[in-house]
Structure formats: structure tokens, C-alpha cells
Amino acid sequence: MPGVPVGTTTQNPGLLHQASAIYFVKKGLDRLMPELFFWQLGYKITMPRNSGKTIQMFRVNLPGANTVPAAEGVNPNPVPQSSYPITAILEQYSDYMDSSTLYDETDINSVGSATQMVEDLSFRAALSVDTIVRTELDANTGYTIPTIGANFTVADIKAGIADMRNSNVMPYSGGDWMLVIGPYIEYDLKSDNTAGGFIDSMKYTNGEKVLNGEIGKAGGARVMVTTNVNRTGTAPSALYSCYLFGYQAFAVIPLAGSGPSAVSDPKNQRFKVTVVKPGIGPGNETGEIGTIASYRFVMAVKITDPQRMRIIAADASLV
């Protein structure tokens, strides 16, 4: 039988309904979200409600050594005490999204407009908290140090810890220091094959609680990786901040009942978001507003002692 062209194909210009047919995937594809760690590493002090906006902390100064022999029969001068205050001021942060009633009635997104707004605002709020804390930490330029070599290694962690120990800074309860780094720095750290290098978290747990997002331990510090680190300059001269913390380096201060949700994995955890469908009423006389989603939180963050942390500015070998 001689070959005869097929009369109807997908390219047939006359079949307009076929050319315009589209199958719509009704669920959004996966989105790229960072993990967030700074809030969980802060020393938490909850501010009671109805106590003003300013919280005052303090440290008592340590007395020095007395090397002068006491005179017989004479009382020495009393040792004076002194202290210094540390203050922080609460601030509120809020955002909202809304949709029209008609949009809600015709939305083809399978999760629905309200659920989508909750996901979006939850991520925005969690990222905001993490960035607010990180911005306070980035201001500690007096304790920003360079790497020992060309790239970040375990030796940099040990040197930073030794520098803090020289100022009598102590680790967190449990004897560990805390380190937050970016993915490019993680690569350099894991590539360091010197003795006492990186230890995967699964190899040392033995019943020990692993922090949210913790990948392992190196040089005495528990390591967490996030893309939400400060970067200065541009490639190939970009420097990535590596945050090494001792005990009580900084405080996070939520207002009781209005503080932020603790979210370190925004893909699987949700920040507190309020959803309302206002219905017909003042300001929505014909019911045009279908859904409102919002968040609000009140917090403060404060470096309590700059010498209790180090920011190691590291060049990455991959960039």
C-alpha cells in the first residue's frame, strides 16, 4: 500500500481546540528553601507582657587578684563591686496577604489560596527572624578574623575556640561550641583530611541529641549549614562569614505570647500564621475580600558579650 500522509495530526492548523488544550498541574513544584539556625542558638530570655519595651540585662564585673600581704591587726579596704547593663528594645514585625472572593472561588491551585498564603508567609516570617538575628551578629566586626590558610579548615575552628578560651569564654552546656557556615565552606571543611577533622553527626551521637540541621562536629564545634550567611565582595574574592559561638554570646528575647515561632526547617515546619475569612462587614461591604492571612511577632536580639563569638571570614575554594 503506498504511503499516504496522515490527514489529522497535532500540527493540523484547523483543529484549534487541540492546539489550545493544556493540562495544568494543580500543585506547585518544590521550592528552594534554606535551613535557619541562628534563633535556636541564642540564649533565650522571655520578656513578660505589660512590662514595657526595654529589657535590661547585666553582668557583674569580676574582681582582680589581690597580691598585697595583709597588715597584721589592720582590716584591708573592702572590695568594691561593679556591674554594667546590657539593654535591648523589643520591636514588632508583621505582614499579610489577601485574596478576593472571586479568586478563592475560581482558583485552580489544588492546595487553595489560603494554604498557599500560609506557606509563603510562614517562610517569609521564619527567614525574617533568622536574618534579624544574623544582622545583629554581623555587626560584631571587632571579632571578625581571617582564616589561617587559603581556605577554611578545622584549624580555623580550633584557633577561634582557643582565642575565646584565652578570654575565659566557655562552651555551651554539654561542652560543645556552635558553628554556622555556608555550603561552600562545608565543602572545604569536609575536604580537610588532617587528623581530628570532620566527624559526621551519625558517628558521635550515642544518644546525644542532635541539634536541628546539625551535620556533624569538627574541632570541638557542632556544625550547622545554611545559605543565610553574610557574604562580602564578589567571586572570586567573595568572603563567607562563619559564625563560631561560645556560651551566652547573644540573647534572643521574645515577648511572652507574641514571640516568633522556632522554625529551623521552613520546608517542613510552619511559623504561626493567622487566617481569617472576614465575610461581609465594615470595610468589606460586598464581601470582595475572601481570605486574609497574616503574621505578627515581637522580639529583640542582642549581642551580650562580643568576645564570646568569632566571625571567621573565609574564601571558598569552589567560588
Q: Quick one: CA torsion of 298, 304, 309, 315, rounded to 10 degrees?
A: 50
State the pLDDT at residue 207. Answer: 47
pLDDT digits (tens, 9 = 90+) for 134-184: 999 999 999 999 999 999 999 999 999 999 999 999 999 889 999 999 999
Q: Answer whether 312's CB lies under 8 Å from 179's CB.
A: no
User: Measured between alpha carbons, how far is 37 from 225 in angstroms, rounded to an integer?
Assistant: 8
Closest-CA residue to 79 (of 68, 69, 64, 67): 64
| Of 147-151, 243-247, 295-299, the least confident | 147-151
Is residue 1 predicted with pLDDT exceeding 80?
no
In the numeric block, the cell 561550641 is attached to 177
Q: Answer whether 64's CB lies under 8 Å from 42's CB.
A: no
8 band by pLDDT with thresholds 50, 70 and 90: confident
Show the cell assigned to 202: 551519625
State the pLDDT at residue 203. Answer: 65
**E strand segments, 61-192:** 83-89, 91-100, 144-146, 177-181
State the pLDDT at residue 17. Answer: 78
State the pLDDT at residue 59. Answer: 95
130 band by pLDDT with thresholds 50, 70 and 90: very high
Q: Residue 96: CB partners within 8 Å, gap ≥ 6? A: 121, 292, 293, 294, 295
Mean pLDDT of 255-272: 96
| Of 16-25, 87-96, 139-148, 258-267, the least confident | 16-25
262 band by pLDDT with thresholds 50, 70 and 90: very high
pTM check: above 0.85: yes
Residue 96's DSSP bridge partners are 294
131 band by pLDDT with thresholds 50, 70 and 90: very high
Mean pLDDT of 261-266: 95
Half-sphere exposure of 133 (CA within 13 A, CB side): 28
Q: Answer whether 114's CB lies under 8 Å from 280's CB.
A: no
User: Measured between alpha carbons, how far is 32 from 29 in angstroms, rounded to an integer?
Assistant: 10
Domain residue ranges in the chain? 32-60+82-93+136-260+298-319
State the pLDDT at residue 22. Answer: 84
User: Measured between alpha carbons, how far is 264 from 165 in angstroms, rounded to an integer?
Assistant: 29
260 band by pLDDT with thresholds 50, 70 and 90: very high
State the pLDDT at residue 202. Answer: 59
Mean pLDDT of 83-93: 97
pLDDT digits (tens, 9 = 90+) for 191-214: 888 767 777 655 655 545 566 778
In the numeric block, the cell 493540523 is attached to 12
Mean pLDDT of the chain: 91
Q: Residue 312: CB partners within 8 Å, gap ≥ 6? A: 144, 145, 146, 147, 152, 156, 160, 241, 242, 244
User: Measured between alpha carbons, how far is 90 from 92 in angstroms, rounded to an integer?
Assistant: 7
Pairing of strands 239-245, 177-181: antiparallel
